[in-house]
Amino acid sequence: MQRKGIHYDVGAFTRGPHRPSSREPWDPAVVEREMSMIRHDLHCTAIRISGHSVERLTMAARLALEADLEVWLSPSNIEATEAENLVYLRECAQAAEKLRADHGNLVFIVGCELTLFMKGLIAGETALDRLQTMFKPWRLIMSTIKHGSFHKRLNAFLGAAAAEIRRHFHGPLTYASGSWENVDWTPFDFVGLDYYRDKINRRFFRDKLRKIVSGSGKPVIVTEFGCCTYQGASDKGGYGWAVIDQSSEPHRLKSGIVRDEEEQVTYMTELLDIFNEENVAGAFWFTFVMPLYPYKDESAYNLDTASYSVVASLPDGTGRAYPGLPWEPKQAFHALAAYYGNT
């Protein structure tokens, strides 16, 4: 596998811009150390950098490029309309081109699962509302009657966005697609898949990937895959996060959730083996760190158990393994380092 990658969040607003960012505090000195560790300790060759702030995206990308990582820049403007996203992506493309001109080695990701994270393609005011539309056939039918086929509208937007971005950015493009999206890959240089294995798709997971790789005519990148840190998380795949009781203050895990770092490691190594064997051109583990899901000694309130990250965020911000960094490595950190270091 040519690109050995990991996802890195610089801060997104998953419930609107007035909510806390998913990456706080933001310390450029910590980011610089993390980029070096991702390259030299984890042995990654590529990094997908996502988030909303153009300033943060640019800073993190520059630090990653200086650490000799290939950057896959993934701007995220959650809950924006199509028109708002076009303006935002133009600004990001202009900033990305300056980096590419200076450093090269940069790919632009035009969006991520936009049927969920952008307003207007399916019914729902928020990403969670739109997720409910996807899960309920009658709501999806009503949405299609009202808005038209979301596949057709998604491809129309992606075509317009790719054309606008290419006016300003002269490197390669892709899109991070959800498994339910039928994307026309004509405007792109890579096929991009957010590709999680779960209980439902387990039996055809490899076969579907093989067909995509053999039939795409373009390099296939798994832009996102991952697993949380509890028993049964491998069956949940991309929905493993939904084991937190959001009605509780402070938030806590739902009853019956048992922490299991080995489950995360097993999932990681099994999928990396599949990606290698099926000639995927690159894959990005989701994710490096998730500060909104901090580690706590009391198991019921240990939200890191519901995290996909390879490091456990510490509430007091003082790690022991790496003094000065606000996290501790999990078993998945060492497993990913060993896998990437030996392949």
The answer on pLDDT for 319 being more than 80 is no
* pTM exceeds 0.75: yes
Residue 317 and residue 80: Cα distance in Å, rounded? 32
User: What pLDDT is recorded for position 324?
Assistant: 86
Token pair for 17: 């811009």
User: What pLDDT is recorded for position 261?
Assistant: 98
Dump pLDDT digits (tens) for 5-55. Answer: 999 999 987 554 456 788 988 999 999 999 999 999 999 999 999 999 999
Residue 160 or residue 319, greater confidence: 160
Paired with 5 in beta bridges are 46, 284
Residue 18 and residue 21: Cα distance in Å, rounded? 9
Residue 287 and residue 9: Cα distance in Å, rounded? 8
Strand order in the sheet with 220-225: 173-176, 106-112, 70-75, 46-51, 3-9, 282-285, 220-225, 191-194
User: What pLDDT is recorded for position 19?
Assistant: 65
Dump pLDDT digits (tens) for 280-297. Answer: 999 999 999 999 999 999
User: What pLDDT is recorded for position 297?
Assistant: 92
User: What pLDDT is recorded for position 15?
Assistant: 53
- Domains located in the chain, CATH noted: 3-341 (3.20.20.80)
User: What pLDDT is recorded for position 129?
Assistant: 84
User: How far from chain centre, in Å, is Cα 27?
Assistant: 21
| Peptide bond just before 219 cis, omega within 30 deg | no
User: What pLDDT is recorded for position 264?
Assistant: 98
Q: Which of 216, 87, 228, 273 is nearest to 164 (CA)?
A: 87
